Amino acid sequence: MNLIGTGATGRVVRSGVGGRRVLTAVIAVAVMMAVASAVVGGSLMAAADAPFDHAFDKQRGAHLTAQFDPARVSAAQLAGTGKLAGVTASSGPYPSTAFRPVDRAGLPLPTLTLVGRPGPDGGVDQVDLTSGRWARQPGEIVLAASFEGPAVGIGATLKASDTLAAPALSIVGFAVSAGRTADAWATPAQVDALASEGRPVTSQMLYRFDAASTEEQLLAGRKRLAASTASGALLSTRSWLDTERAAAQGAAATVPFVTAFGVLGTVMSVIIVSSVVSGAVGTGLRRIGILKAIGFTPREVVRAYMAQALIPAGAGIILGVVLGNLLAVPLLSDTEAVYGTVALPVAWWVDVAVAAAALAVVGLAALIPALRAGRLRTVEALAVGRAPRTGRGRWAHRATGMLPLPRPVTYGLATPFAHPVRALAMLLAVASGTVAATFAVGLTSSLTAVGAAQDPESRAAVTVTTTRLDDVVPPPPPPVGDSVASPSPAGGSTAGTSGPEAADPAKVRSALESQAGTGSYYGKARTEVAVAGISGSVRAGLYEGDSRSGSFEMLSGHWITGTGQVVVPTRFLERTGTRIGDTVRVTYEKETASLRIVGESFDTSGSELEIHADMDNFASAAPSTFLVEVRSGVSADAYAQKVAAVVRPLGGDATANAPSGQEGVILIMSAMAALLTLMLISVAGLGVLGSVVLDTRERVHDLGVCKAIGMSPRQTMSLVLSSVAAIGVTGGLIGVPAGYALHSSVLPVMGHAAGTGLPSRVLDVYEPVQLLLLGLGGVVIAVLGASIPAGWAARAPTATALRTE
């Protein structure tokens, strides 16, 4: 069936669409915004649907990344491990080391794991280049795509360290490894050249197994690797399951709030389309009567009014799909880096599903008022269309007339009561926009609080280590973890067995105490321990001194205050079935201690477990890092340089900490919240615009009479704007509590999806003044939406208004 029709029906449809250009534009733009927001949200939800699994399968990622000591096992022996039972594919050995490059401005980058590979392809971990090319000769380097930015791009040069003789490395490409086997790649010769400068080198092997879906299967594979080589040759391994769990948790956290925005956008679109089409029927009763009088059947009338809604809605759907794809691209680019993928275009089925759903929603929204038009009797429609309006809302005019306000204002305040259904639609649109704004402000504030809580060590002004930073072989990059890292809970780095001697912690401590600018400090060791009831090793932070300044946010209980205590994350309690007050047995190297759980920490590091305890529980433990607060008025950079000059000859180092910013999933969610909120507020304003246009056109004769008896253009504007002011206030009063409640409901769901509870600092983010301003936002939305028709009403000549029926 041709919806527009031909002949008379087609002319009626075209006349209706072209004659109400503002309302047609309102429907088109409102639908466009709603569809665009749905495409953006749907695209990101699709990207969050097992993104790691898709990228990992595409790249044939490594189930196990193993580091071997080249002094204990030859390259030929390592190549032979690829033929062990259960191994389906292997790549390597590749020389691997760690270095801390310095950019052109002399600022150090984080310590990176560098792997020497002749090319990105291989039987395992087929690295994807996102830009540039692969390193072909010494002096060239390829970085992980997450490092690409304005200061670090193709052609930029890095120094391998901050020493004068450090070689220069030119960035020739950026790449992504779904399994995160390295932070940077170069030729094997380049890695060997860096090894000659004292950096320990290990041999990296990448394996895929026929059975690798559980940690037990991977642990069995690790044991076979260890048994096939000399004792002590296998230094560490890293499981793909840890990376997968961390990625899945980060992705799952985006789903609840994207769903909330999607529901708001859908509701607002239905309200606006229904209101506009219903208003078109209400203001066109005489037109409907004439159509029926000249022979139009009820079905033709329904088709005509359905078409007048679906034609602009169809245009809005097409534009919305295009706009949504354009807006989704930068967000998906950020998602690529977070989830380890290379190309995340908007899925075609998202466009199709959103377009089909929008068309169905608009059709249903337009059907009810169109059916009303079709059921109207001809005589009734002609009589109502010619007769004066009934006295609906007169009681409101009498009530507002008693207020000590100018008459145009009281007239405007009473106007919505003449059309309660239309006023209700406008109220719901304003309230929905206020809900979106309130929810978004709370969400971004909560995400900022989460970002600040992610790295407690960054609160310290200066970090002092007992090893040279450019000689440290780091643990696997977060949030990968190392749950099957070793069969014993030995502490310290397992990446190598050679290298410079570490500084004596006692000497570093003495240097700090003798430094004039030292305020306070505490020591920390990152290591691995064994916990009774948990297979594999568990990461641990052991603290020396008063560590309250570097404590994690607490969900319950308290931070460690002495020996015999341990603080654990939510995942630990869930996995072990313990609770605060219970005792767990923790083994560090050959020492075992029974520690009482005194607190539940807020930990967003993914699926990896990390516990926190006092260093005095284990006599053999020693700090590898000191976190220092400088005295008031002391420059952290200058202080770090002075301390570094003292501890570097001892084998240590010192750096000033830069403020940590939002990154990863948090940055994506913040950008999504801002974008979707802007769209929904625009849709709310369009809803007000459409309703006020209908009201203004319906009352144009009354406005002409008011102008004829002396109402000025300014008073006319105040009349129209005051007609939405009360709706704006009421919408704010409804929307702010609803947005607050939505925030309180969605945030815990997001936390649960990420595997943790949320502290009050993350949940209680609204300030009273902030809520008041958000409430006034309802008035702003209403007034901005009504400003265009108010201006038109003020400029309309009196004679024109009087002639218009």
User: Are residues 494 and 451 located together in one domain of the fold?
Assistant: no
Q: How many CA atoms lie within 13 A of 500 on its CB side?
A: 22
Which token pair is 484? Answer: 């099957």
Region of poorest pLDDT, from 79-88, 375-384, 392-401: 375-384
More confident residue, 715 or 481: 715
Distance CA 82, CA 87 (A): 6
User: Are residues 89 and 100 located together in one domain of the fold?
Assistant: yes
User: Are residues 75 and 189 located together in one domain of the fold?
Assistant: yes
State which residues form the domain around 564.
456-656
pLDDT reading at 21 higher than 90: no
User: Are residues 438 and 572 located together in one domain of the fold?
Assistant: no
Region of poorest pLDDT, from 251-265, 424-438, 564-578, 744-758: 251-265
State which H helix or E strand residue 183 sits in.
none
Which token pair is 526? Answer: 């990152």
Can you give the pLDDT at residue 7?
A: 61
Task: Compute and round to an integer the Cα radius of gyration of the chain.
Answer: 34
For range 360-365, the mean pLDDT: 79
User: Are residues 422 and 353 located together in one domain of the fold?
Assistant: no
Q: At what angle do helices 51-59 and 240-252 cross, to 10 degrees?
A: 140
Distance CA 139, CA 712 (A): 77
Region of poorest pLDDT, from 49-58, 318-327, 551-560, 719-728: 49-58
Instruction: Let me know if residue 553 belongs to a domain.
Output: yes
User: Are residues 204 and 266 located together in one domain of the fold?
Assistant: no
On whether the CB atoms of residues 108 and 469 are closer than 8 A, the answer is yes
**β-strands 653-656, 462-465 pairing:** antiparallel
Instruction: Let me know if residue 155 belongs to a domain.
Output: yes
Instruction: Let me know if residue 65 belongs to a domain.
Output: no
Model confidence at 269, in pLDDT bands (50, 70, 90)?
low
Model confidence at 565, in pLDDT bands (50, 70, 90)?
very high
Can you give the pLDDT at residue 386?
A: 44
User: Are residues 492 and 400 located together in one domain of the fold?
Assistant: no
User: Residues with Cβ < 8 Å from 120, sequence gap 6 or more?
Assistant: 126, 127, 128, 129, 134, 175, 185
Cβ neighbours of 199 (radius 10 Å): 24
Model confidence at 489, in pLDDT bands (50, 70, 90)?
very low
User: Are residues 720 and 702 located together in one domain of the fold?
Assistant: yes
Model confidence at 207, in pLDDT bands (50, 70, 90)?
very high
pLDDT reading at 277 higher than 90: no
Can you give the pLDDT at residue 786?
A: 83
pLDDT reading at 788 higher than 50: yes
pLDDT reading at 350 higher than 90: no
Task: Tell me, letter by letter, the H, E, C secondary structure of 132-162.
Answer: ECCCCCCCEEEEEHHHCCCCCCCCCEEECCC
pLDDT, tens digit, 9 for 90 and up, residues 279-314: 655 555 566 667 777 777 778 777 777 777 788 888
On whether the CB atoms of residues 188 and 94 are closer than 8 A, the answer is yes
For range 164-184, the mean pLDDT: 85
Instruction: Let me know if residue 239 belongs to a domain.
Output: no
Last residue of a domain, one of 630, 656, 682: 656
Can you give the pLDDT at residue 486?
A: 34
Instruction: Let me know if residue 797 belongs to a domain.
Output: yes
Region of poorest pLDDT, from 16-20, 63-67, 286-290, 745-749: 16-20
User: Are residues 36 and 98 located together in one domain of the fold?
Assistant: no
Can you give the pLDDT at residue 214?
A: 82
Distance CA 570, CA 554 (A): 10
Model confidence at 117, in pLDDT bands (50, 70, 90)?
very high
Can you give the pLDDT at residue 567?
A: 92
Can you give the pLDDT at residue 485?
A: 36
For range 445-451, the mean pLDDT: 80
Last residue of a domain, one of 613, 639, 656: 656
Can you give the pLDDT at residue 187?
A: 92
Total tally of structural domains belonging to the chain? 4
Last residue of a domain, one of 629, 656, 683: 656
For range 538-557, the mean pLDDT: 87
Region of poorest pLDDT, from 287-296, 500-509, 657-666, 731-740: 657-666
Instruction: Let me know if residue 238 belongs to a domain.
Output: no
- Rounded to the nearest integer, the mean pLDDT of the chain is 77
User: Are residues 346 and 292 located together in one domain of the fold?
Assistant: yes
Distance CA 686, CA 29 (A): 8
Distance CA 787, CA 722 (A): 11
Preceding peptide of 108 cis, ω within 30°: no
Instruction: Let me know if residue 365 belongs to a domain.
Output: yes
Instruction: Let me know if residue 51 belongs to a domain.
Output: yes
For range 61-77, the mean pLDDT: 88
Model confidence at 500, in pLDDT bands (50, 70, 90)?
very low
Model confidence at 491, in pLDDT bands (50, 70, 90)?
very low
User: Are residues 513 and 377 located together in one domain of the fold?
Assistant: no
User: Residues with Cβ < 8 Å from 747, sequence gap 6 or more?
Assistant: 442, 443, 446, 758, 762, 763
Distance CA 34, CA 29 (A): 9
Angle at 548 between CA 543 and CA 554, to 5 degrees: 100
User: Residues with Cβ < 8 Å from 750, sequence gap 6 or more?
Assistant: 253, 254, 256, 257
Determine whether 534 is exposed, middle or buried from the number of CB atoms within 10 Å of its CB (0-12, 13-18, 19+): middle
User: Are residues 144 and 202 located together in one domain of the fold?
Assistant: yes
Model confidence at 559, in pLDDT bands (50, 70, 90)?
very high
pLDDT reading at 194 higher than 60: yes
